[in-house]
Structure 1
Amino acid sequence: MIPISILDLAPVIEGGTPRDSFRRSLDLAKHAEEWGYRRYWLAEHHNMPGIASSATSLVISHVASGTKTIRVGSGGIMLPNHAPLIIAEQFGTLDALYPGRIDLGLGRAPGSDQLAARALRRGLGSDGHDFPEMLSELRGYLDPSLGTGMPGVRAVPGEGANIPIWLLGSSGFSAQLAGQLGLPFAFASHFAPDFLLPALELYRGGFRPSEALERPYAMVGINIIAADTDAEAHRLATSQQQQFLNMIRGRTGMLMSPPVDDMDQLWTPQEKAYVQQQLSFSIIGSRNTVKEKLQALGERTKADEWMIAGQIYDHDARLRSFQIVAEVMREL
């Protein structure tokens, strides 16, 4: 069975609060642990009212403290927003609190708009171009034998911690870098489907074995919204479609809206085509539909693990969706 994991954006719904989001995230993580999910990752985003996981390390600790065995981590920390030493210390602390359960997924995008990026960085000098150097410095703090940390500076906690580092990406840059460094790679096809197969080819073709990993390990992020019927799943999916529609219209990070019966009342034909293209690797449907499409996608991608996102307004429906996926995976 291919391992399955969850990517959570800690969505804030209309009429809800971040506190509600954190409560729901922990509840989902507890159920995911029971259903056999391997990881529960949270994403760093800023200046987005509809996403509550901006202080990602804190939310990771919240989820890890309320679970027992599931791995908890970042999908991802946007490294250009932070000093590498700070991330080494934060994740070193998490590893000390929850040993053997913490993952560090890293991305080079800002996870925000330009105004928020400036507020985070006090300037725009770090725009991701120096991501390989920042990554090298961070790895040097965790493993001083690499000799890539700043001389005379130690990460405490952090030094010597065995924290798996993943590179995340939606293009070929991180795929190539992960392959060169022999690190596991996660591709965000849940919002960048066009580059999935080329990125996987780059990663696998350029992979060099390392102490971290002997052979390539590719995780594929996909949207899955499952329900007891195809019709209900498609109705639930309209909340996510509205989120992408808001992005097109420059209203990024709006509170999650309840599902609607007819999206054609909300979008133009051009907007519909764009949203459907961005969500082209999404799987929406009943148990049988999910099983058929996930099996076909597995044959195309040869994914080693699935990272599943599911932006669903109603919490009980969200739980049911991830439960159905877990049941389907046991049948494949």
Structure 2
Amino acid sequence: MLKLSLLDLVPVTNTGSIAQSLTNAADLARHAEALGYGRYWVAEHHGMQGIASAATAVVLAHIGQATSSIRIGSAGIMLPNHAPMVIAEQFGTLEALFPGRIDLGLGRAPGSDGVVARALRRNLASDERQFPQDVVELQAFLAGDERLGIRAVPGEGTHIPIWILGSSLFGAQLAAMLGLPYAFASHFAPDALDEALDVYRRQFKPSEQLAQPYAAAAFNVFAADTHEEAELLASSQQQAFVALRTGNPGKMKPPLAGYKDSLPPNARAILDHVLQCSAVGTVDDVRDGLKAFVARTGVDEVVIASSMYDHDARKHSVALAMEAARSL
């Protein structure tokens, strides 16, 4: 059966609260675990009213307490925001609390802007040398490498699985060079998907962590009992993408009937392009979408992204996605 995992941005609605979003995240994680999802991943973003997962390790501790077997992790920790030792300590603590269940996905995007970068006290310049160095240093902390001259406690000796995340060829090349699993952010940045996966597989070098390439890719699913309902549910995420692309991000808005058709043609084209790795509709629609996506990419795992305004509708969508995967 197709392996499915779930990506959660812990969305905050315009009528909800951060506390409610975190409660929903724990409930959704329990639901995903019961359905048979393999992983529950949380993404780091900063300074955004509509996303409650900025303190990613803290959110994962909350998710871990609510679940018992599903793997939990980051998709990802934006490593330029942090000293590698700090991440080793945070995820070493998570591994101590939830042994054998932690994934550490790393990205080099800031997940913020320059103002937030300064507030984080980090240099977020896109340095193609610094990020690989930080990844290797983090690996060394998790391995307890004595050459560092300092110990990450908790963290050392945990060998927590590291993933490289990306939406360009850079991440694919780095994952291949270090022999790490690779996940592509095709749910919002699909342009380099095929080329990146090809580069990753061709250039992959086995490592202690991984003997052969292992690739995942993100795919949006908005599923409901009818196609019309699914289209309506998808409109909240569509509004969020348009708001972000026009420099006006905010809390998630309720579904809006006919939203996409109300946009000018150029805006609709942008939305169709950004969300091209998506399935909107019934179980059959999702099954066909997943089947085509896996046939195209050959990925070992699909990471479902499915932010919705209504929590119960989202839980139902996640269940329908798993039903579709089981039918493949």
Smaller-chain TM-score bracket: over 0.9
Tell me the secondary structure at the aligned position of residue 193 of structure 1. Answer: coil
CA offset at residue 145 of structure 1?
4.2
Residue 282 (structure 1) aligned with residue 306 (structure 2): no
Q: 1:264 to 1:224 in 2, by over 3 A?
A: closer
Tell me the secondary structure at the aligned position of residue 104 of structure 1. Answer: strand
Per the alignment, residue 24 of structure 1 pairs with: 24
CA offset at residue 144 of structure 1?
3.1
Per the alignment, residue 326 of structure 1 pairs with: 322
CA offset at residue 275 of structure 1?
1.1
CA contact (8 A) 1:80 1:128 kept: no
Tell me the secondary structure at the aligned position of residue 64 of structure 1. Answer: helix
Taking the TM superposition and a 5 Å limit, the aligned residue runs for 1:244-323 are 244-252=241-249, 254-264=250-260, 266-323=262-319
Alpha-carbon distance in structure 2 between the residues aligned to 1:220 and 1:124: 25
Q: 1:237 to 1:264 in 2, by over 3 A?
A: closer
CA contact (8 A) 1:225 1:284 kept: yes
CA contact (8 A) 1:245 1:267 kept: no
CA offset at residue 282 of structure 1?
1.0
Tell me the secondary structure at the aligned position of residue 219 of structure 2. Answer: strand
CA offset at residue 114 of structure 1?
1.6
Write the deviation string for residues 151-181 of structure 1: whole angstroms up to 9, x where unpaired: 3210001000031100000101010110111
Moved more, 223-232 or 128-137: 128-137
CA contact (8 A) 1:139 1:146 kept: no
Q: 1:108 to 1:5 in 2, by over 3 A?
A: same
Tell me the secondary structure at the aligned position of residue 237 of structure 1. Answer: helix
Supply the RMSD in Å over aligned alpha carbons. Answer: 1.3
Residue 174 (structure 1) aligned with residue 171 (structure 2): yes
Alpha-carbon distance in structure 2 between the residues aligned to 1:27 and 1:124: 34
1:233 aligned partner, one-letter code = A
Taking the TM superposition and a 5 Å limit, the aligned residue runs for 1:50-89 are 50-89=50-89
Moved more, 221-230 or 74-83: 221-230
Alignment: residue pair count: 328
Alpha-carbon distance in structure 1 between the residues aligned to 2:157 and 2:219: 33
Alpha-carbon distance in structure 2 between the residues aligned to 1:229 and 1:264: 18
Q: 1:331 to 1:130 in 2, by over 3 A?
A: same
Tell me the secondary structure at the aligned position of residue 186 of structure 1. Answer: strand
Alpha-carbon distance in structure 1 between the residues aligned to 2:298 and 2:180: 17
Write the deviation string for residues 254-292 of structure 1: whole angstroms up to 9, x where unpaired: 100011111157522211111111001111110111111
Gaps of 5+ in 2: none
1:17 aligned partner, one-letter code = S
Per the alignment, residue 140 of structure 1 pairs with: 140
Residue 191 (structure 1) aligned with residue 188 (structure 2): yes
Q: 1:123 to 1:192 in 2, by over 3 A?
A: closer
Gaps of 5+ in 1: none
Per the alignment, residue 15 of structure 1 pairs with: 15
Alpha-carbon distance in structure 1 between the residues aligned to 2:122 and 2:21: 29
Structure 2 length as normaliser, TM-score? 0.97
Write the deviation string for residues 179-237 of structure 1: whole angstroms up to 9, x where unpaired: 11110000000011111100000100100111111110001111111111111111110
Write the deviation string for residues 63-87 of structure 1: whole angstroms up to 9, x where unpaired: 0011000001000000000000000
Alpha-carbon distance in structure 1 between the residues aligned to 2:149 and 2:146: 14
Alpha-carbon distance in structure 2 between the residues aligned to 1:152 and 1:109: 29
Q: 1:146 to 1:301 in 2, by over 3 A?
A: farther
CA contact (8 A) 2:81 2:123 kept: no
1:303 aligned partner, one-letter code = V
Moved more, 114-123 or 77-86: 114-123
Alpha-carbon distance in structure 1 between the residues aligned to 2:121 and 2:298: 38
Write the deviation string for residues 114-152 of structure 1: whole angstroms up to 9, x where unpaired: 2111211355457565100111111111113484xxx32
Moved more, 291-300 or 117-126: 117-126
Tell me the secondary structure at the aligned position of residue 50 of structure 2. Answer: coil
